[in-house]
Amino acid sequence: MTIEGWILILGFTLIVAALARPVGLYLDAVYAGRRTWLTPLVAPVERGIYALAGVRPQEAQGWRTYAVGVVVFSLVSALVVHAILRLQGVLPFNPQGFEGVPPAIAANTAVSFVTNTNWQSYGGETTMSHLSQMAALTVQNFASAAVGMAVAVAVSRGIAARGSGTLGNFWVDLMRGVLYVLLPACVVLALPYVALGIPQTLAGSLQASTLEGPTQDIAVGPVASQVAIKMLGTNGGGFFNANAAHPLENTGALTNFIQMVSIFVLGAGLCVTFGRIVGDERQGWAILAAMGSLFLVGVGLTYWAESHASAALVAAGVDPSAGNMEGKETRFGIAASALFAVVTTAASCGAVNAMHDSFTPLGGMVPMVNMMLGEVIVGGVGAGLYGMLVFVLLTVFIAGLMVGRTPTWLGKRIEAREVRLAVFAILAAPFAILVGTAFAAAGAGTAGVQDGGPHGFSEMLYAFTSAGANNGSAFGGLTATSDFWAYGLAAAMMVGRFLIIVPVLAIAGALSTRSPAAASAGAFPTSGPLFVGLLVAIVLIVGGLTFFPALALGPLAEATASGLF
Amino acid sequence: MLVHLRPALVLVALLTALTGIAYPLGVTGLAAAVFPHQAAGSPVTRDGVVVGSSLVGQSFSQPQYFWGRPSAAGEGYDGRASSGSNLGPTSQALADRVRAEAARHGVPVSRIPPELLTASGSGLDPHISRQAALFQVARVASARGLPVDDVQALVEARVEPRFAGVLGEEWVNILALNMALDAMPLANAAPGAGVP
């Protein structure tokens, strides 16, 4: 570990914390429909779109209508993506002449991008035409991120509502997220990315005759426009197979830093937005503080682990002082690779700038744990906030039990139905992850594994964890192209998305029908260090109880067998 | 359900047009106008011929060139098949590959800078560290019949510092370094030296 490494990690954390408030206030203004500096430009476009789509923007929806909107929109999106991928061979913008994507991979990819997971069981530069990258995948990078933000805002409104029983209008929230937030930000980010070397062209490749003679065919394409939204929307699906480790997708230290900040900035900002919506900004900061503590512990552990050479390198006699450089790029080194790995898995992004499969056992376990905790450490845009709010509700309930009082949250009584729904939302993804991994390890998925032993189990566990948590990163040694993997992971991704969104909206719907009472002296405050500590503890206990046995069979067994690294 | 179908269909279509066609094509047009070199993938030319991209590593195995890191991209530095090895931390295959790579350098494993023995994440890493470049100076100088000091000075001159002093790592771009080598006046051309 180096001084520069820690400056990077702490500097990154401070910059994200500093951006949270301005971003959060802007998001609050956008979703409340207040005037922003983009309003004169965007509002007319917005009105036209609503007219065309038959949307009445003033119409507030109850939770059921909102949830059906989310599901129908996602379903239509998945079908369109699937169709484009299957038909790319006869569609334009296909300079490489790729054929249609095979059905299982196309279905897996469609679900993957619509659920904001961006699990990729294909190599981008060897599979996808430019049209597929742009009109299928980039579109869902925008749309799935906007859906996540919309749900988070709707849930916040439900918690804050004074008996109205409504959460807002899904179509309006969806379009505002794209038109006022994601698209303008990407337009601003894409060109600097090009200036820093990320390609943006409709050509398919750059042909070179190398210094030693042989020809090198370098894949290029409309990369910068996709990278901008891929990070900001915590999607993570790479243009190239190697994702953000590819020197054309992430050219150097500066693009790497901008990409990492992009991953966190909206998720962090949404915490502040939540605080504004419920009328007490400290509520949002308490959540962000809980996220930040879990994040820093994860970064410290990964950075420490990756600063050691792995057992295989030591066995071969490699100088251990440089750390574990297998699967890492020279321009990022250990610190920026470890930080990126934690950011991308804490935030449900899933882009990688180093290969997690080659991390040391403990270094590779932290990304897994980040996902297993429910992607609530900043989390996917929107998804992280509504995921964490479920844990907040559970914490309030448990704190109420401990002091023997009826639990109240922001002045509202928490009743049995909400707690049941919260437990359902918390257990849906673990159920998909553990059941899926069990089937895989029982033989259905072992054919795709690269390594035997505990590491092979880790590859399978990581895959279902990544899908169930809607992350999308991988232990890339696993070949996940068989029907079991393609459809099994697609099912896990759907569970991890919709069986959380629907119960969370139901909770918000129930809370929206109640009027807050004045805070009584006995109510447990949901801001302040005591609550932050309790929230962190609940997240860790639930995740630990659920996943410790699985981790013991994978990374912990490998660490024990290899002498820690 | 059905009342949701119209907005869903219309908005998916509009989003496709806006974020899937207009946005990427708009950025492409703008990029071609403002940063045409980077937009095309940062090609490097010599005598009018494209010899590579300044951002993408390429395969070097001849003794008179500096070598990059082991590559798992296709058969090695395949620009159409980026990939890491994904070999795990306890993998026997990884230990074997490290030993084989060390044999190529002809020195015991423990004396070789570790990045020269470990595959990068992309298989297209264009860089090596200063130490990894200095380690190869003797071989390159001898293969080219150049004074060791001259080659060493060339390396030192091409070490890129960390961005703003803290971000990223120090590195040397191998393609740029090897092109600078080729441009050096040859001493009494030794066998095997020179430009192929």
3-state DSSP call for residue A168? strand
- Put simply, the answer to whether A476 touches B95 (Cβ < 8 Å) is no
Q: Is residue A165 part of a domain?
A: yes
In a domain, B55, yes or no: yes
Look at the block and give the residue holding tokens 């940062």.
Answer: B42
A175/B94 CB distance under 8 A: no
Residue A479: inside a domain? no
- In chain A, residues 185-214 whose CB comes closer than 8 Å to chain B: 186-187, 190-191, 194-203, 205-214
Measured torsion, CA atoms of residues B118, B122, B128, B131, in degrees rounded to the nearest 10: -30
Q: Is A329 in contact with B58 (Cβ distance < 8 A)?
A: no
Query: Among candidates A351, A386, A243, A364, which has minimal Cα distance to A298?
Result: A364
- Which two structure tokens, joined as six digits, stand for A452? 């035997």
Tell me which residue of A438, A462, A262 sits closest to A347, measured CA to CA.
A262
Q: Which residue of A has its CA nearest to B38?
A: A197
Among the partner-chain residues A53, A80, A329, the one whose CB lies closest to the CB of B10 is A53
- Angstroms from A565 CA to nearest CA on chain B: 7
pLDDT at residue A414, as a whole number? 92
> Are residues B53 and B85 located together in one domain of the fold?
yes
Scan for tokens 């950011």, then name that residue.
Answer: A343
Structure tokens at A250: 């992430």
Whether residue B190 is contained in a domain is answered as no
Write out chain A residues lying below 8 Å of B125, CB-based: 247, 329-331
Tell if the CB–CB gap between A357 and B84 is shorter than 8 Å: yes
**Helix (H), strand (E) at residue A209:** strand A205-209
Contact A318 B123 (CB under 8 A): no
Domain assignment of residue A534, yes or no: no
* Residue A290, token pair as written in the block: 């809980």
Q: Are residues B54 and B5 in the same domain?
A: no
Instruction: Tell which A residues from 441 to 500 touch B, by Cβ distance under 8 Å.
Output: 450-451, 453, 455, 458, 475-477
**Which of B84, B93, B90 shows the shortest CA–CA distance to B119?**
B84
The encoded tokens of residue A189 equal 């980010």
Provide the 3-class DSSP secondary structure of residue A34: coil
Q: Contact B6/A178, CB-based, under 8 Å?
A: no
> For chain A, how far is it from start to end, CA to CA, in angstroms?
15
* Smallest CA–CA distance from A66 into chain B, residue: B4
Contact A194 B42 (CB under 8 A): no
The number of domains in chain A is: 1
Amino acid at residue number B112: I
* Reported pTM: 0.96
**A162 min Cα distance to partner chain B (Å):** 27
Cα atoms in the Cβ-side hemisphere of radius 13 Å centred on A516? 16
Residue with tokens 């403990």: A362
* Partners of A222 in beta bridges: A200
First to last CA, chain B: 69
Separation between Cα atoms, residue A508 and residue A527, nearest integer Å = 20
Q: Do B82 and A4 touch (CB under 8 A)?
A: no
CB pairs under 8 A between A and B: 401
Nearest by CB: B53 against A80, A206, A319? A206
A561 touches chain B (CB under 8 A): yes
Closest residue in A to B97 (Cα) is A316
- Rounded to whole angstroms, the Cα distance separating A301 from A342 reads 10
Q: With beta carbons less than 8 A apart as the criterion, state whether B118 and B94 touch.
A: no
Q: Are B76 and B130 found together in one domain? A: yes
Whether the Cβ atoms of residue A77 and residue A140 lie closer than 8 Å to each other: yes
DSSP-derived letter for residue B126 is -
Taking contacts as CB-CB distances below 8 angstroms, the residues of chain B near A186 are 23
Task: Please list the ranges in chain A whose pLDDT falls under 70.
Answer: 519-522
- Identify which of A8, A196, A358 has the shortest CB distance to residue B89: A358
**Residue indicated by tokens 């807002």:** A168
B178 domain residue, yes or no: yes
Is residue B95 domain-shared with residue B56, that is, in the same domain?
yes
Q: Which residue is closest to B128 within chain A, CA to CA?
A: A330
Distance CA A239, CA A138 (A): 10
Dist. CA A561–CA A248, nearest whole Å? 38
Q: What does each C-alpha distance from B74 to A123, A326, B77, B83, B101 come to in angstroms?
A: 12, 17, 7, 8, 17
Pick from A52, A191, A206: CB nearest B41? A206
8 Å CB contact of B109 and A224: no
Same domain, B129 and B54: yes
- Judge if B82 and B144 occupy the same domain: yes
Report chain A residues whose CB lies below 8 A from the CB of B12: 73, 76-77, 80, 139, 143
Contacts of residue B42 in chain A, CB cutoff 8 Å?
197, 199
Question: What's the total number of domains in chain B?
Answer: 2
Whether the CB-CB separation of B38 and A195 falls below 8 Å is answered with: yes
CA distance A75 to chain B (A): 9
In chain A, what residues touch B169 (CB-CB under 8 Å)? 253, 330-333, 336
Hey, what are A149's tokens?
């933000």
- Looking at the domain assignment, is residue A59 inside a domain? yes
Q: Is A238 on the interface with B (CB under 8 A)?
A: no
What type of residue is B19? T
d(CA A80, nearest CA chain B) in Å: 8
Residue of B62, B91, B98 to mutate when probing chain A, most A C-beta within 10 A? B91
Interface mutation vs chain A, best among B1, B2, B9, B12, most A CBs within 10 Å: B12
A176/A160 Cα distance (integer angstroms): 20
Whether A237 and A122 have beta carbons less than 8 Å apart is answered as no
The pair of three-digit structure tokens given for residue A407, joined into one six-digit string: 């639990």
**For residues B101 and A522, what is the distance between their CA atoms, to the nearest angstrom?**
68
Residues B144 and B106 in one domain: yes
CB atoms within 10 A of CB A398: 16
Domain residues for the domain of A181 are 38-205+219-263
Residues B152 and B177 in one domain: yes
Backbone angles phi, psi at A115, to 5 degrees: -90, 10
Q: Which of A216, A245, A361 sits opposite B122 (nearest CB)?
A: A245
Q: HSE on the CB side for B187, CA within 13 Å?
A: 12
Say if CB A511 and CB B122 are below 8 A apart: no
Exposed, middle or buried, A413 (CB in 10 Å: 0-12/13-18/19+)?
middle
Q: Which pLDDT does position A402 carry in this prediction?
A: 87
Beta-bridge partner residues of A207: A217
Q: How many whole angstroms separate alpha carbon A542 and alpha carbon A556?
A: 19
Helix ranges restricted to H, A92-250: 103-114, 124-127, 130-131, 139-160, 170-176, 183-195, 223-232
CA B5/CA B2 separation, integer angstroms: 5
Q: Which residues of B32-64 are buried (b: 16+ CB within 10 A; e: fewer)?
A: eeebeebbbbbbbeeeeebbbbbbbbbbbeeeb
Kindly report the backbone phi and psi dihedral angles of residue A70, in degrees, each rounded to the nearest multiple of 5, phi listed first.
-60, -45
What's the CA gap between A171 and A53, in Å, rounded? 9
Tell me the average confidence (pLDDT) per consecutive run of 10 residues in chain B, 196 residues long.
90 97 97 97 96 97 96 96 95 96 94 96 96 96 95 95 81 96 72 44
DSSP 8-state secondary structure symbol assigned to residue B158: T
Q: Do B5 and A72 touch (CB under 8 A)?
A: yes
Q: What is the predicted pLDDT for the residue at A430?
A: 96
Q: Which domain holds residue B141?
A: 41-183
B9, B74: one domain: no
3-state secondary structure of A119: coil
Helices A103-114 and A483-512 pack at an angle, to 10 degrees, of 20
Is the residue at B18 inside a domain? yes
Going by C-alpha positions, the residue among A369, A396, A206, A350 that lies closest to residue A301 is A369
The partner residue sitting opposite A212, judged by closest CB among B65, B82, B121, is B65
Residue A64: strand, helix, or coil: helix
Q: Same domain for B93 and B141?
A: yes
Nearest by CB to B50, from A208, A242, A247: name it: A208
Q: Does A379 touch chain B if contact means CB atoms closer than 8 Å? A: no
**Which among B93, B141, B92, B37 is positioned nearest to A200, based on CA atoms?**
B37
HEC profile for B66-125? CCCCCCCCCCCCCCCCCCCCCCCCCCHHHHHHHHHHHHHHCCCHHHCCHHHCCCCCCCCC
Provide the shortest C-alpha distance from residue B133 to chain A (in Å).
Answer: 12
Task: Say yes or no for a CB contact (<8 Å) between B7 and A332.
Answer: no
Whole-number pLDDT of residue A170: 98
Residues B36 and B46 in one domain: no
Residue A313 has what pLDDT? 96
Write out chain B residues lying below 8 Å of A361, CB-based: 89-90
Contact of A140 with A229, CB cutoff 8 Å: no
H/E run at residue B51: strand B49-53
The three-state secondary structure class of A527 is coil
The CA distances from residue B35 to A186, A204, A218, A219, in Å, are: 17, 18, 19, 18
Examine the domain organization and report whether B58 and B8 are in the same domain: no
Please count the residues of chain B: 196
Partners of residue B85 in chain A, C-beta under 8 Å = 326-327, 355, 358
Among B52, B88, B118, the residue with its CB nearest the CB of A208 is: B52
A481 assigned to some structural domain: no
| pLDDT at residue number B164 | 78
B35 CB contacts (<8 Å, ≥6 apart)? A191, A194, A195
What was the ipTM of the complex prediction?
Answer: 0.94
Q: Which residues on chain A are in Cβ contact (under 8 Å) with B71?
A: none
- Record: contact B168-A252, CB cut-off 8 A: yes
Between CA B78 and CA A205 the distance in angstroms is: 12
Interchain CB distance below 8 Å, B83 and A251: no
Contacts of A125 in chain B (CB under 8 A): 80-82
